[in-house]
Structure 1
Amino acid sequence: MHILPKRFFLSDRHLPYWIILGLLMLLYTPLLLHWSEGWLNKSISIEHEYFSHGLIGLPFAVYLSWLNRERWQQLSHQVSPIESIAGLLLVLVGLLLYRGNLPDLINLSLPVILTGLCLWFKGLPGLRLEAFPLLLVFLAAPNSIPYLLAPYTLPLQQFIAGMAGFILLQLGMEVRVEQIYLFVNDRIVEVAPYCAGLKMLFTSFYVGLMLLYWTGVWQNRSKTNIFLAGILIISITANILRNTLLTFFHGTEMDQAFHWLHDGWGGDLYSAGMLGLLIVLIQAIDRWQSPIEAEPEPD
């Protein structure tokens, strides 16, 4: 993914970039506005709402490409025929996807075309340079993967329901747990597939990738593994607590608080707090040194 380099306005050599940028804006501005509006107002489908992390990921991808502009400009313009043909084919495939009738394929056409343009203009070196921004764009393109995963979340739903019931029992409430259902004061709360924390797990790992790249922690395998494990633990724990609160609110007829946390801005605030914990976690991991790293080198 390429951002306009310095002195872009002063060289006719960059005219193709202007043309391609204009075409991309013409094609994808309506689509990006549709994504953003749907994510912000929650007017998009449930599955596509799972990719609302694109609100921060896509601007970050553009920013990273802007930082790479000097290195991009320094790459050789000599591209092998194979790389050029492969890039052109990817661009054509992306255009075919865009012209299709399936929303998922239209969405995925953006990262496909951007990947093709990197190969076409700069070959594999250009693709390697822009690999992470392209990954962020690809992971932000809405698709049906959450819908396909939903049937396999039953064990997670049962675990969350059981833990929420256990916590409420310790608080002195009469709770009965049956599979994914919690019964409190003749009221039922269901830990549905889309309430199992899959969305926050998607968002957490996406933001985690951004933090790993930004801090440079990804270069240390042990620290990366610890951080990814921490993301999983924080996400599941936060979702257990959220479902516990929802069950408490619903069972005690605090309906306003229930809706505030379930589908109001309280849920967004809760998610933001959880993502804030990821920043604290990676800062702690980044400062930590394993015994192997801390061992002084022999004289």
Structure 2
Amino acid sequence: MQTPITSATERDRNLFIFLVLGLLAILYGPLIVYWFDGWLNKSISIEHEYFSHGLIGLPYAAYITWQQRKQWQRLPNVSHPLGLSLLVLGGILYFTGLFQWVNLSFVIMLIGVCLWLKGKPGLKLQWFPLLLVFLATPNEIPYLITPYTLPLQKFIANVAGFILQQLGFEVAVQGIHLAVQGQFVEVAPYCAGLKMLFTSIYVTLLLLHWTNSLKNRKKVFFMLISAVIISITANVFRNAILAGLHGIERKDLFDLVHEGWGGDLYSVLMLLTIVGLFRLLQKYETTNKPEQMKVEDKQYE
């Protein structure tokens, strides 16, 4: 049930909206600054580094919201009862002072504001920016799923061992452990590539939205599956390189690839691969578009 808001003039309503935005900025501005500082300087917990894709996702969410401001203004001023409930819940979670609950309260507050000011149409309009904020909000999910990454760790260890054997290394694999040239190395849970897997999926969603492709289910499915495959494949090669460097006792190069700029380069190349695949898919779609549709496109140009 949604009820029209008629108790305030348009001017008063705009003032109210600015007050709400100002209150959110006061409450969550320091929190977002803390997130960005932690992601940039890697001073945040390991689990929360898994959400560093928020460095591009949160600004993009703000950009989308700004682009949709006229559509937002044209929506009827209706209030959904769930909106006030979510605002109260968000406030309660915020004032617990517990980091995880405070983080979660941010997206709950935003959803509550949308429902309180514009009802379901407002939530429908802002669903993608809200999704980006939710997927970039640090939480304990990486920590909770770590115990279930064992099959992936074993897969990475076996494939990495196979690759090194083809390169002439003396390798023995047992579970998640590799013995390379007599040097033991473990494919730990945090080496399973979950961080880059999350980032790959997130960047793919950004690309799909940027090109207005989210309504194309086949394209969305293909790109998300491809992003997962690319991420896992890239991580296998990265672990093979790390294990090989450990085996020949090149600690300097190992540290460079593991925690230095080499790891950042690996991440960039992997994301560029996803972008490249996306461009190829677009080119394929354009080339194979039916002639009638091409004629219609030219008429609209």
> What secondary structure, in the 3-state scheme, does the structure 2 residue paired with 1:203 have?
helix
Aligned to 1:58: 58
Greater shift in the superposed pair: 104-113 or 93-102:
93-102
Aligned to 1:47: 47
Aligned to 1:182: 178
**Deviation (angstroms), 1:232:** 1.2
> Partner amino acid for 2:17?
Y
- The alignment's TM-score, normalised by the length of structure 1, stands at 0.90
**Deviation (angstroms), 1:185:** 2.2
Gaps of 5+ in 1: 1-9
Please tell me whether the aligned partners of residues 223 and 286 of structure 1 are also in contact (alpha carbons under 8 angstroms).
no
Aligned to 1:6: none
> What secondary structure, in the 3-state scheme, does the structure 2 residue paired with 1:238 have?
helix
| C-alpha distance after superposition, 1:66-120 (max 9, x if no partner) | 000110111112x15xx1x211110110011111143211101011000000010
1:1-299 pair list within 5 angstroms: 11-77=11-77, 79-80=78-79, 83=80, 85-289=81-285, 294=290
**Deviation (angstroms), 1:296:** 6.3
- The alignment's TM-score, normalised by the length of structure 2, stands at 0.90
CA–CA distance in structure 1, aligned partners of residues 261 and 192 of structure 2: 19
> Partner amino acid for 1:46?
I
> Partner amino acid for 2:25?
M
**Deviation (angstroms), 1:122:** 0.6
> What secondary structure, in the 3-state scheme, does the structure 2 residue paired with 1:219 have?
coil
**Deviation (angstroms), 1:12:** 4.8
Identity %: 55
- After the TM superposition, which segments of 4 or more aligned residues of structure 1 sit over 6 Å from their partners? 290-293
Gaps of 5+ in 2: 1-9, 294-301
Equivalences, count = 284
Q: Give the CA RMSD over aligned residues.
A: 1.9
| C-alpha distance after superposition, 1:248-299 (max 9, x if no partner) | 11111111111111111221121011111111111222232399964869xx
> What secondary structure, in the 3-state scheme, does the structure 2 residue paired with 1:142 have?
coil
